[in-house]
Amino acid sequence: MSLSPEQVEQFKQDGYLVIEDHLSTQDCDVLRERAFQIIKEADMSQHPMTTFSTVDKDKGAQTRTDYFVTSGDKIRFFFEEGALGENGKLTMPPIEAVNKIGHALHIFEPEFKKVTFSDKIKGIARSLGVVKPSVPQSMVIFKQPKIGGRVNPHQDSSFLHTTPMNLVGFWIALEDAEPDNACMWFAPGTHKSGISGRLLRTEEDGKLGTKFEGTSPSTDENKFVCAPVRKGSLVLIHGEVVHKSPPNLSERSRNIYTFHLYDGTSEWSKDNWQQPTEEVPFPFLYEKTE
Ligand SMILES: O=C(O)CCC(=O)C(=O)O
């Protein structure tokens, strides 16, 4: 239930690590089915993407910002740009249009909680020397057929920043992820030179917002290697490694479940877009004494 010294070394060297057969096919299907069920059960009529259109653009934009910035302790839905018509409304059923669900599946959804707080994950966190692994967020990313949007090169610690930085992404393929259906690409070694920018939470005149300070990583395209993985594989993503995924132009989806953890002995930045709330503090996988 832990990483071998070679795996730990590989992770330190490359900034990512593929672990095959982390979940069984059945486990993956349970998570996928539940994710689709959550969408089916949701009342989308009140979603900012569906309630606001051209009528009041400013109000609509602010509502969408609020919806995102306050989503850390909730289960919310974010749509593919390619699923929106000119009036800002969905042109297809939500189940085909959702880009991701976030960000508290690991809190409110038992199946996702079980996978996040499993002994295997605890063992991996221990192997990486995490003293007090704290889980700020989780997501299902659907990468829908044909319209699954591009994810530009980025470093996760730009968005979920701690001092010192020690964020790790746990990315689990719920379906095979291959070059044709937009598997992940990593630039090995780029985690060794810090982050190039940060997304900051802002508040002006009582209005929440975000701004990006610094730049996006300018990593040479030739440095990226693709990381095709089979359904059930877990990929560990160092918070500072530059990674991306292309649009999914294929006929098949590429569903994944991901969550992040950081060492709770470090400081969660007060200007991160996501903040723990009194009702839902960031849970720990274990405390050192366990
Ligand atoms: O799954 C993807 O395409 C992107 C995921 C990602 O970049 C992340 O979890 O940081």
pLDDT tier at 84 (50, 70, 90 boundaries)?
confident
Ligand 1 centroid distance, CA of 151 (Å):
7
Ligand 1 centroid distance, CA of 244 (Å):
7
Which residue from 155, 243, 249 has its CB within 8 A of the most atoms of ligand 1, so it is best to mutate? 243
pLDDT tier at 54 (50, 70, 90 boundaries)?
very low
Ligand 1 centroid distance, CA of 103 (Å):
14
pLDDT tier at 264 (50, 70, 90 boundaries)?
very high
Ligand 1 centroid distance, CA of 153 (Å):
10
Does residue 127 have a pLDDT over 80? Answer: yes
Residue 131 is classified by DSSP as S
pLDDT tier at 53 (50, 70, 90 boundaries)?
very low
The tokens for 56 are 């009041």
Does residue 125 have a pLDDT over 70? Answer: yes
CA-156 nearest atom, ligand 1: 10
pLDDT of residue 288: 64
Render pLDDT for 218-257 as a digit per residue (tens, 0 to 9). 999 999 999 999 999 999 999 999 999 999 999 999 999 9
pLDDT tier at 56 (50, 70, 90 boundaries)?
low
Return the SS3 of 151.
strand
Q: For residues 166 and 67, what is the distance between their CA atoms, to the nearest angstrom?
A: 27
The full DSSP string for 189-251 is: TGGGS--SEEEEEEEETTEEEEEEEE------GGG-EEE-B-TT-EEEEETTSEEEE--B-SS
Place of tokens 């003293």: 131
Does residue 52 have a pLDDT over 70? Answer: no
pLDDT tier at 88 (50, 70, 90 boundaries)?
confident
Residue 161 is classified by DSSP as -
Does residue 57 have a pLDDT over 70? Answer: no
Render pLDDT for 2-17 as a digit per residue (tens, 0 to 9). 999 999 999 999 999 9
Residue 158 is classified by DSSP as G
pLDDT of residue 46: 77
Residue 264 is classified by DSSP as T
Mean pLDDT along residues 172-191: 98
The tokens for 190 are 């780029």
Domains of the chain from N-terminus onward? 5-268 (2.60.120.620)
